[in-house]
Amino acid sequence: QVQLVESGGGPVQAGDSLRLSCAASGRAFSSYAMGWYRQAPGNQRELVARISSGGSPYYIDSVKGRFTISRDNAKNTVYLQMNSLKPEDTTLYYCAASRIDDIDWFKSPSNMAYWGTGTLVTVSS
């Protein structure tokens, strides 16, 4: 069993940066691939970034070059550094964990084994 708690969201101006954190409790954090998702009202939850258990990152095109996903296994934490934020980045952000690293697996949110409760990012223009 893994519990995930996100933090770091908040209101910012366009062009600003935020760092989201997702703290995991439970065993064997390092064996999980971790993902950051976002979901705007009325939209489906979408994968933003994923980091494999071995540290390999993946990003969707709209955040490449702006967002960086990383993990600190000693702290059982995964991060999402978000730079050059845009108003369209405004939404709830969730982290998720899976034993399966595969990108296509992560593209289906229903495949994720564990979820946090989300942190809200609001970017004003």
Task: Report pLDDT digits (tens) over 86-101.
Answer: 999 999 999 999 999 9
Identify the residue whose tokens are 């564990």: 114
Determine the Cα–Cα distance for residues 32 and 30; give it in Å rounded to an integer: 6
Radius of gyration of the chain (CA): 13
What H or E segment, with its residue span, contains residue 66? none
3-state helix, strand, coil in the chain (%, to 5): 15, 50, 40
Average pLDDT over residues 57-73: 98
Per this entry, what is the length of the chain?
125
Q: Is 79:71 a contact under the CB 8 Å cutoff?
A: yes
11 or 1: which carries more pLDDT confidence? 11
